[in-house]
Amino acid sequence: LSSANVDEVIQTRLLDKPDEVKAELASIYRSKADILRHQLSFTNAGRTFKAFQDEDHFAAVYPFAPYQFQLVQRIFESIRRAGATGLHLARGERSLLDAFQSAATSVANQAVGLLVPLHRFYPSIESFLEGVVKSTIDNASRNTSLQDFDVLLLKTLFLVRYVDEIKGNVDNLITLFIDRIDADRLALRNEIEASLQRLEKETLIGR
């Protein structure tokens, strides 16, 4: 197993599906391909993140988006390099397998049509984080001036903080928060902009 083909291993070991499920997902992709392309686009990204290639690819990686295999790998690398992890964070491959298994399990009981938002990957690195990082996010969850969504946004902002290729602008945050194929981007934009204001007011983020 190498970092270069970790997405293939995850597809084989964690995401393989029965033929009837693959057929159902392929049908969904055929009717929603244009929507998916729009939902999972980034602005001012420093690299081209993978999109769904075709219906077979969609069925193979579902409920994840193809860009997540690249991005989560970069998140682990950048957090490790920035020194934000106190305990040993396994290099690359094993951590990625654990992260995708944890994220997939967290949405296992939801209906077909969901997608996994980036904040679902936070729990898999939480135990490795330096105390000051973890306590800041834990304290935010107990802050009565904040809502549950604000904490998820704070986790997402932390995950991409050290990743140069993804800017934490509102458009990109909307994409990272897409949790179902038919998600309303405008409603998400309003929710994220309001949340950013609350986080800034609590001095948890800077403009």
CA distances from 169 to 8, 44, 133, 139, 173 (A): 30, 9, 21, 24, 6
Crossing angle, helix 93-106 and helix 6-13, to 10 degrees?
Answer: 40
- Global pTM reads 0.89
Quick: pLDDT tens for 45-54.
766 788 899 9
pLDDT above 70 as % of the chain: 91
Quick: pLDDT tens for 153-184.
999 999 999 888 888 899 999 999 999 999 99
Phi, psi dihedrals of residue 55, rounded to the nearest 5°:
-65, -35
For residue 25, what pLDDT band results from cuts at 50, 70 and 90? very high
For residue 206, what pLDDT band results from cuts at 50, 70 and 90? confident
